[in-house]
Structure 1
Amino acid sequence: MCCYYFPSLLLLGQGSELEVKYETALNYFYTEFPTDQSDSTAIQLLEEIKAQIPTDALPLSQSADVFDKLGTLYLIQGKPENSIDVLRQGLTFISRNNLNDTLKFSPALYLGESFFLLNQADSSILYLNQAEEILKKKTNKQETGRLYNSLGVIYYESGNYTQAINYFSKARSIITQKAKPGPASAARYAVFSFQTNEAAAWANLKEFDKAEALYLEALSLNIDKDEIFSKLASLSIKSQKPDSALYYLNSITDPTNKQSLPNQNLRAEIHLLNMEPDKALKLIVSNFEEKDNYQTKPAALNYHLGKSYQLLGKSWLLKEEYQKAAEGFHKAILNFDGSFTETDIRKNPYPGNINWGMTDIFESLSLKAKSLLALAKEKEKDQLFQVAFDTYQVAFDLLFYLNNLYDNQEARIFLGESIRKAYEDAVSASIDLYLATNDEAHLIRGFLWAEESKATALELARNEGKIKENADIPQELLQKEKVLKFQLTRTNQKIREVQDPDNVDDLEIQVRDSKLALSRLYASYNGFSSYFEKKINTERININSLQANLKAGRQVLLSYFVANDTVFCFVLNKDRLYLSEIIEKDSLFNLIRSINKELVTSKGNSRRTLEDISVRAFDQMLGQSYPDLENYSNWVILPDQELVHLPFEMLVNPKGEHLVKNHSITYQYSGKLLQLDSFENRFNKNSAIGFAPFTAIDSLLESSEFDLLPNAASEMELLEGRVFLGNAATKQQFLEHSTNASIIHLATHALSTPDSPDEGFIVFSTAGENHLLFAEELYQLNLQNASLVFLSACDTHKGEVMNGEGLISLSRGFAYAGCDNIISSIWKANDKVTAYLSRVFYKKLNMGYSYPEALQGAKKELLNDPDMAQYHHPYYWANMVFIGNTFEDTFIQAKFSVFWFMILVVMATSLIYYWKKKRVDPTLF
């Protein structure tokens, strides 16, 4: 993907024979129209000069340049090993002679590119990072564009397409700023390379329109139309348009290009899209026969051969030839991963370094596992089942490694969506084998994979936040991170406000540059061994750890997982894991949608239809297991996909009771988050803060955009700490006090935008200059000291549902910022009811109840209060849910403290009464 380009330059001079040879070599190096012959002549001359170094005939800087130019030429000729050898000699020469460090820039840059061509991306990153550090000292920034392009390639090949786009875009803008791409300029070729790289990244993000626009723009540069036609064909395949793909392939004019291995692979993919595996097989086999004729660099050839074998495997899989399919996928892995050489199909690579097309390696691993499972069923061989599951595990280990390399949640969320299907297939296969054998090991594996697939971006961010605090990262770097995050969110806010499109372009460039600066900063964190080591060695989800936190007889965990057309319900208690329900997906999802529709449209009036649907939902989701679950007072529910919209508290059991009557319920995004250390011990009532900006008339006068919330202040009557009301409840005060707050209560308005989650916001006093706290800003906060965030605003637990990540909402933003426990609203909240629930909640909390128990107690008290009879409909109370990390044991100490305190009070009262009575009538004693 790298484009090699050089500025035109002609050096003529007089001097020694060696100097003349050096100048002649440079003439060949910088010729306007280089050929293999001119490059070979330059190499011969430079090798002759290098053989005489050290020499007094050349200045030291020119001697260093000989190594630089020679290494570059070897790189261009596709000889990365030779390039690495020469460039390393050059670095040694520069250091030994104490030359200016800036001379190390080019060798480091080209070493990075050479190692990448050899599929040794870890070494590549090391040298590219060195080049970037040296660049800061250089006054001539001529190679900046190339450096950013090379970094973009690294991110692209690791599957981090979002960040790759930022690098390619930056590289392109640098080149276009420095020189206008004329008809034959090197800059024009560079722009072509950077632009097509960026388009490829957009294509992999499934932003097909953006990719196509960039390709067509590159086509107008009239540099290599055949390459663009090939890339447009690839884009058409990704967007499931085989006819368009064939059209573009047929538009290629050069017969050699038309028959190249990459383009033949594209033709095979077209056959597979058209469900023509026999035609694909015939073409692929002919490719293998012709592979020695392909003029391509070794690493690239291996990659394209890997694609051929991957397509071979897919063809055999379509034909249900599972042994041949598995062998094809295994050979694909061998070609994709240059360090893996095991030909035994039962073996798999260890995911510990970056390779060309890591997402291709994952796809090949998961498809190999799928083929082996089908073969195991066909041959009825238990050993093959184990090999298949081992292969899935290696694929998921690779994902874990990849996610820890990524530096932004967008990339992690996209990866989670991309690979979700593999987890669904793996979990389904594990459950099928469990049902066939009754071997609990298969059930446990399915459960762990189900939870591992959920909320990865959130879990990693939470984990990184905790590790970062104890990783010996210098404070100046952490402060720099805060500044960059602030700049990023501030610029995004300006984009929302600006009207002039030209200004938007400038601001978007600022956003990109801030993201790149953060990217490089995060890359520097990985240089602190304790930081990256701890990330990689973080305990994956563990069933024993979960069970250790479940108190026998009182708490149970229910995990739901949607796999293809089925919903599985796992139940975990202190003693065992079992599969309680297997539900048909479409019927359940339709029920959940009906419940939500009926709740919102009824607005607390009609109850009969809602109760009927709730009973049916209960039967589907809990009917078989409820006799056992009924004994547990505390439920932890791990929902998946559409289930995040369902408040289980309102489901009706066989006795006609809402579940809230007998069960407190905690929701969580994934079982992985239940293993993170809770900050519950930081609970401190005196450091609580509350905000109610629309509780007084003065705040309403500032803006008619938001309605008055007259009961908002009463929500926090029992909240000990500092409460900001009316115009005092500004965003600035929140930002100033939230970092050290133990409890945060926000009684205000909010807006959720499911189609654009980052556009959602929480409203503070309009008296402040900036009164909207956007979802994006939440991700930049540090709320690790907060034990609880109570969001009584409307729709704060509503948003876009991602198959892999779960619900992207305002409440998730607070979890991402580090808060373990959140009370949030699924739909519009009633001001009076919210105030009632809040007051009782804090009363229960002060009595020693846990967060979910306190919320349950508040709802029960509401339902038993005759004065609140008009609000007994689930529409008013079921919307408030608790999402958290609070196991039963967390509050045991607090409860006992309250218990013994009450005993002491009773004893003291009795003693006082005793002594008073004794003084009055001693004969009584």
Structure 2
Amino acid sequence: MVMRRLAKLMAWSLLCFGLFVWSLRLETLPAKAESPPGSATSFRNKGAGKRSPQNSERQALMAEGRAAQLIADYPKALAEYQEGLQLAQASGNKKATAKFLSNIGTVHRDLGDYERALEYLERALATRRELGDRRGEGMDLTRLSSVYEHLGDYTEAFQSCEQALAIAKETGEPMIQANALAGMGSLYRQTGQLQKALEAYSQALALDRESQRPLAEASALASMGELYCLMGQYEKSLQLVEQSLAIRKGLNHRRGISRCLNVKGTVCRRLGQGKRALQYYEESLAINREIKDRRGEAGSLNMIGNLYANNLRQNDKALQFHEPALSIAREIKDRRAEGTALNSIGVDYYGLRQYEQALQFLQQGLAIHREIKDRLGEGVALYMMGYCYRDSGRQEQARQAFSSAIGILAEVVAPEQSWRALRGLGSVEARLGRNDEAVVHYGQALDVIESLRSELGEEKTKTTFMQSKLQIYDEFIILLQTLHGKYPNKGYDRKSLEVFERKQGRVFLEEVGQSGARSFAGLPESVRARESDLDDRVALLQSTLAEERSKAGKGQRAAEIRSMQQQLTQATAAQASLQKEIRANHPDYYALKYPQPATLSDLQERVLKPGEVILVYGVLDNGTCLWVIAKDHFRLFSIGAGLKEIESKVHNFRKGLETVLEAIRRKEAVDGFSRILRSSLKDLEQNGRELYGLLIPEGAQKIIAQAGTIYVVPTGHLYSLPFEALVSPGKAGAKEPAYLLEGHSVAYLPSASLLKVLREARTRKRGEAPYPLLAFANPVYPGMKSSLPKGIPLRSAAPDAAGASVAGAEILDLRAGTYLQLMGGSFPGLPDTEDEAREIKSILGAPDASQPLQLKEAASRSNVLRFNRENKLNQYRYLVFACHGILPGEVDFVTQPALVLSHPDPSTQQGGFLTMADVLGLQLNADLVTLSACNTGRGKLQRGEGVIGLTRAFMFAGTRAITVTLWSVESKSAKTLTTGLYHNLKSGKNLAESLRAAKLRMIHREAGEYYDHPFFWAPLVMMGDVS
């Protein structure tokens, strides 16, 4: 025993005494005496003064216990403290006895054994008071406060903190004051006083930093991060938690690391990033089990269960985590954790539609939350009871529960819970026939959601955040649609359109607004420069931080993360200040850069021109809304087909197009090819007529009859449908199909609001581009292997061996990523695109001095980026890219939609893919970008945003319109369409009429025998403002 003690004394006297002063809320030296672990000062402090061997041994036991507690080795910490306690009691040293009693109490607190923690801390407090040790008394009072809080006795907890603050004021001890403020912050949070909590934590943080107590600083940062998460300010939450995590990782503070991981998981869960959230939660759970932190284990289990219940809708799986969490909470007598687990199990049974069982657990949770004055927990229990009552048919009870919850949740500032309660109340009021109240409360729920969304910076984060919220928009639209059917003159149809526009394409709308703002006339250059610098700085910091956070834990650079977060906080504050200044002094510019969804009045009075109609489609699960908007007409139609039926009908329509593609792939002989064309045309005509009748009801047909241009706002699978190829009823006995295109120009928009932004930007442009054309065509492909099956390269087909003409001899090569998938092999050259580009140059009269043709090796990614770098891209009115187009996965290493320019790039010898990310970095000032390639209109279909691909990227870069393709386009038809488009533009037609005229020429067989088939003329469509 003696040798063991001497060994401990020698080892720990050199190192561990410095470690323990970093620990949070543990008995430490005064702040001025603290030193980093292992420093010279620490060594001198250890050796200062003359101590008896017994005193030195006690100090060694104390140091070793604190070091073990710091890294959550609780059994070792208890063993050292208990041995030290025995020595102190044996020697009659009451001051040392009090210290050991206090630290043993904190270990039991950290382990979740609150009754035993209370016993030891009360003994320590009594001893301190007996000795008149005011400093020690203050420390123990803050520790007792945290134990009372976990036991749900908030009255005693508040009193303990207030007594500690009085002692801190009397003694001038900043550490006691900081700990007491942190305790008050936690109590304010639990009782729903979030602003007071934030103020208390902020004061504690300042004191901790001033006293150089890094673990206490980390705790305050994490607490503030949790608060901001609760308040829906997720980016602020992550910034603070990352700072806390960096400190805790540096000190190997396992319990604190676990806490930070849980907060990060909750932020990810609320942003809809379920997979990432689960990784954080599971890592936290593993740490808690390893260090035997029962309270932390219960918390992690509860959070994993919440993820399965709320995000993944696997309520039976959620129970497997929530039930053990409840058992642990009861075992350690943590009343708040018990109430939380009961609420969670109630949610699980609600998801399993076992409403009575759910109510039993929720009522138990409600009783506990009320007993311990946990207002947030009370509000959650009440609104979940509201859903149980609603779905079991007890609407009045549901209304009362929701109303009570809303009052509480507003009081405690819990927006994530508030919008759910408001949504529930709106749905109940609708069932009770309280229509006006239902509309108000649904609207308030959307306001809360959009307030949360406005706090987010990164566009990707905004999109994922909204994914889990879209259903409430659809619910509200369905309610308004139903009310409009009953009360057609109350404006519910107008309101439903506004709700749809609040939901649809918001990120795209904001991106195009930012793009238009770049060329806004009237903003002082000094303001523009400041704004640009701040925008660039914030964007760079956000992307760099996101990249660093995505690394595995050991690969993250904690110091760099902390520094970047501080820089980002400063930059965003400066950005917000400048935005306020711009809003006050330059309102037109502000409205363009930060656009709001358009109202019906906006569209009819300030956006639409005579002869224009917008068809807005809201495809829902069990039906579809169609809003038809003209300058002097507006009507809402209900279409019976929902998501699955629409998908099936669009798929059937496109099968007729795929049949033609297959025939070309097989090099079908002319006779066979002609039969396939006739057969597929018959199928297309039938399916096109069905879709026309379904998607354009009779009343809508009357409104569009006099329209010259139809703008289509599609959702879901309607994005892949060429509306111009729909077949109208036509005249009885007509031999040829009457396509929608024959009566109207057709263009596409992701939302009606986008047309408003595009036109506002156009009227405030600083000037038109000086040159007419820049074309990238006939790129060089010396041979690039696809990841797809091997096969022959794409090339012009020749007559077969018997001399019989095959379809491929007449139907030239497809510019096809999808065709490459069918055929395999290398990208073939596209020499005909050079002819196409030269003809467009001739049509537009582009001067050679403007370098309009970038051909062969010059048609490269590096050249596009060079033009952009030298600020030349924005000098061209029309841009043409005549090349191959690919989708993610069609070629190795390409994960975004891309244009295939010269490959490998002649300048860099790297990939020649101009990706969506590249395009987002371009700066254009174009009226039209033409993508004469395949599948450029396709991309990732994102609910609420539409297709995220090259179309969106080029419009963000700075064009008001773009032509893209919906399937693999055949080369001759591509050239006919593109050159015809520019010929018609030169003759004075607008964009929409120019493309329509080129297509009509093909429909009327002026381009060749086969080209009246929609496969050849319909793939090229136009998006944006085409007037």
TM-score by length of 1: 0.75
Deviations 1:430-460 (A, max 9, x none): 1212112222511111222122211122223
Superposed displacement of residue 842, structure 1: 2.2
1:857 aligns with 2:935: no
Q: In the alignment, what sits opposite 2:942?
A: 802
Change (3 A) 1:674 1:196: same
Q: 1:622 aligns with which of 689, 696, 703?
A: 696
Q: In the alignment, what sits opposite 1:684?
A: 768
Superposed displacement of residue 106, structure 1: 11
Amino acid at match of 1:670: S
Amino acid at match of 1:730: R
Amino acid at match of 2:473: Y
**Which SS does the other structure have where 1:260 is aligned?**
helix
**Which SS does the other structure have where 1:675 is aligned?**
helix
* Higher Cα radius of gyration: 2
Change (3 A) 1:871 1:316: same
1:661 aligns with 2:679: no
1:204-353 matched pairs, under 5 angstroms? 204=270, 205=272, 206-207=274-275, 209-210=278-279, 213-218=282-287, 219-224=289-294, 225-238=297-310, 239-251=312-324, 252-253=327-328, 254-255=330-331, 256-257=333-334, 260-294=338-372, 301-338=374-411
**Which SS does the other structure have where 2:432 is aligned?**
helix
Change (3 A) 1:843 1:86: farther
Q: 1:6 aligns with which of 18, 24, 32?
A: 24
Change (3 A) 1:279 1:139: closer
Superposed displacement of residue 485, structure 1: 4.5
Superposed displacement of residue 134, structure 1: 12
Question: Counterparts of 1:803 and 1:111 in 2: how far apart (Å)?
Answer: 43
**8 A Cα contact 1:372 1:387, kept in partner:** yes
**Which SS does the other structure have where 1:407 is aligned?**
coil
1:711 aligns with 2:820: no
Superposed displacement of residue 132, structure 1: 11
Question: Counterparts of 2:936 and 2:980 in 1: how far apart (Å)?
Answer: 21
1:528-677 matched pairs, under 5 angstroms? 528=578, 529-530=580-581, 539-549=596-606, 554-585=611-642, 586-603=644-661, 605=677, 606-624=680-698, 625-655=700-730, 656-676=737-757, 677=759
**8 A Cα contact 1:690 1:722, kept in partner:** yes
1:151-170 matched pairs, under 5 angstroms? 152-153=225-226, 156-159=229-232, 168=241
**Which SS does the other structure have where 1:360 is aligned?**
helix
Question: Counterparts of 1:789 and 1:127 in 2: how far apart (Å)?
Answer: 56
Question: Counterparts of 1:774 and 1:138 in 2: how far apart (Å)?
Answer: 51
Change (3 A) 1:859 1:412: same
Question: Counterparts of 1:688 and 1:118 in 2: how far apart (Å)?
Answer: 66
TM-score by length of 2: 0.68
Change (3 A) 1:539 1:486: closer
Q: 1:374 aligns with which of 431, 436, 449?
A: 431
Question: Counterparts of 1:285 and 1:826 in 2: how far apart (Å)?
Answer: 55
Deviations 1:373-402 (A, max 9, x none): 0011xxxxxxx2111101111112222222
Change (3 A) 1:247 1:551: closer
Amino acid at match of 1:877: W
Superposed displacement of residue 618, structure 1: 0.8
Q: 2:444 aligns with which of 377, 394, 399?
A: 394
**8 A Cα contact 2:366 2:377, kept in partner:** no
- Root-mean-square deviation (CA, aligned residues, Å) is 5.2
Superposed displacement of residue 506, structure 1: 6.0
Amino acid at match of 1:198: K
Amino acid at match of 1:727: E
Relative to structure 2, which stretch is displaced further, 568-577 or 209-218? 209-218
Change (3 A) 1:738 1:320: farther
Deviations 1:651-676 (A, max 9, x none): 11122222222211121111222222
Amino acid at match of 1:680: R
Change (3 A) 1:135 1:415: same
Q: 2:261 aligns with which of 195, 198, 213?
A: 195
Change (3 A) 1:639 1:289: same
Deviations 1:288-322 (A, max 9, x none): 4444443xxx5xx2111111001110111111121
**Which SS does the other structure have where 1:871 is aligned?**
coil
Deviations 1:470-517 (A, max 9, x none): 698684673364367568879999999xxxx98995699999997996
Amino acid at match of 1:631: Q
Superposed displacement of residue 689, structure 1: 5.6
Change (3 A) 1:590 1:247: closer
Question: Counterparts of 2:651 and 2:868 in 1: how far apart (Å)?
Answer: 37
Deviations 1:842-878 (A, max 9, x none): 2322333322222222222343453444333222232
Q: What's the % identity of the aligned pairs? A: 16
Change (3 A) 1:449 1:28: farther
**8 A Cα contact 2:304 2:318, kept in partner:** yes
**8 A Cα contact 2:426 2:442, kept in partner:** yes
1:839 aligns with 2:979: yes
**Which SS does the other structure have where 2:969 is aligned?**
coil
Superposed displacement of residue 330, structure 1: 1.7
Change (3 A) 1:598 1:288: same
Q: In the alignment, what sits opposite 2:856?
A: 726
Q: 2:933 aligns with which of 779, 787, 793?
A: 793
Q: In the alignment, what sits opposite 2:897?
A: 760
Amino acid at match of 1:388: A
Give structure 2 stretches of 5+ with no counterpart. Answer: 1-21, 34-94, 107-116, 170-176, 665-676, 731-736, 787-825
Deviations 1:794-853 (A, max 9, x none): 222212222322222221223344543222222223333323322222232233332222
Amino acid at match of 2:855: L
Amino acid at match of 1:446: S
**Which SS does the other structure have where 1:424 is aligned?**
helix
Relative to structure 2, which stretch is displaced further, 386-395 or 514-523? 514-523
**8 A Cα contact 1:829 1:879, kept in partner:** yes
Q: How many residues were matched structurally?
A: 816
**8 A Cα contact 1:695 1:708, kept in partner:** yes
**Which SS does the other structure have where 2:469 is aligned?**
helix
Amino acid at match of 1:570: W
**8 A Cα contact 1:588 1:620, kept in partner:** no
Question: Counterparts of 1:538 and 1:88 in 2: how far apart (Å)?
Answer: 49
Amino acid at match of 1:762: L
**8 A Cα contact 1:730 1:767, kept in partner:** no
Superposed displacement of residue 613, structure 1: 0.9
Q: 1:748 aligns with which of 883, 893, 907?
A: 883
Q: In the alignment, what sits opposite 2:466?
A: 416
Question: Counterparts of 1:139 and 1:391 in 2: how far apart (Å)?
Answer: 48
Question: Counterparts of 1:488 and 1:151 in 2: how far apart (Å)?
Answer: 20
Amino acid at match of 1:235: L
Superposed displacement of residue 544, structure 1: 1.1
Superposed displacement of residue 622, structure 1: 1.4
Q: In the alignment, what sits opposite 1:772?
A: 913
Question: Counterparts of 1:108 and 1:850 in 2: how far apart (Å)?
Answer: 68
Question: Counterparts of 1:115 and 1:812 in 2: how far apart (Å)?
Answer: 46
Change (3 A) 1:445 1:490: closer
Superposed displacement of residue 268, structure 1: 1.3
**8 A Cα contact 1:425 1:563, kept in partner:** no
**Which SS does the other structure have where 2:411 is aligned?**
coil
1:335-484 matched pairs, under 5 angstroms? 335-338=408-411, 355-356=413-414, 358-376=415-433, 384-463=434-513, 475=529, 478-479=532-533, 481-482=535-536
**8 A Cα contact 2:423 2:441, kept in partner:** yes
Q: In the alignment, what sits opposite 2:798?
A: none
